Amino acid sequence: MSDDPETLRQIEELSSDDRPLLVLDVDDVLLEFIRPFPKFLEARGFSLTMASFRLTGNIAEKATGRLVEQPEVTALLDEFFLGQAEWQTLTEGAVEALATFAGKVEIVLLTAMYHRHRDTRRAHLDALGLHYPLLTTEMAKGPAVAKLRGDSGRPIAFVDDQPSNLLSVGDFLPDAHLFHLMADNSLRAFLPPLPDRIAVVQDWHEATPKIARVLGI
């Protein structure tokens, strides 16, 4: 896996910090995605049927029943993220959880999206009161999180709704504490069992004390 040069540039802009590190995904961890996205699609003449844990193959044009292929899925996601402030609200308990950690740990938000959407997402997060550093990446998250941690060996926790991202971070940082959190837990039915090293949490209420424990706060 290679580094994303733009992500590395963003990391280099951050101030040096030796506190325990908490890295958080955004979509379906801090901001709702899988609940508002179908409403966005409906407004544009599409429907989403979650027959598997992926978007491609599950979005259909309502008028014809035609399944949307990857390029059109990408275009729809682009449009959604450009207008995310209209659609995406906070995941229940996220603000309270982050307030628990603020000042005690370094909190960094790491979102997998095109870099061109970073300013839009930054503005939306700021409007919601989430003023934590935001990084975007178009590649695997493991290299970015390893770079964020640095060489200090400080405790680190990583929270994401995508198993592939958790596995990527675990590959690069075997001692990282990994937490699988989903805004909509019904989607877990589409996932295979996760490795034992990934802690499955149902919501922020459950996640907060477990993260605090592993970060030593």
Residues 107-122: tens digit of each pLDDT: 999 999 999 999 999 9
* Per-residue pLDDT tens digits for 126-184: 999 999 999 999 999 999 999 999 998 999 999 999 999 999 999 999 999 999 999 99
Distances (CA, A) of 101 to 92, 104, 203: 16, 6, 16
Average pLDDT over residues 46-72: 90
pLDDT of residue 2: 64
Average pLDDT over residues 180-199: 93
3 phi and psi angles, rounded to 5 deg: -75, 150
Compute the C-alpha angle 86/131/98, nearest 5°. 100
Kindly state the tokens that stand for 122.
Answer: 């930054």
Q: Contact at 8 Å (CB) between 133 and 111?
A: no
Average pLDDT over residues 68-87: 95
Judged against a pLDDT cut of 80, whether residue 51 lies above it is answered with: no
pLDDT of residue 77: 95
pLDDT of residue 200: 98
Residue 75 CB: number of other CB atoms within 10 A? Answer: 11
Q: Is 3.40.50.1000 the CATH classification of the domain at 5-32+88-215? A: yes
The domain locations on the chain are 5-32+88-215, 36-87
CA 197 to chain centre: 19
Q: Contact at 8 Å (CB) between 117 and 136?
A: yes
Closest by CA to 120, choosing from 159, 148, 160, 80, is: 80
Kindly state the tokens that stand for 8.
Answer: 């590395």
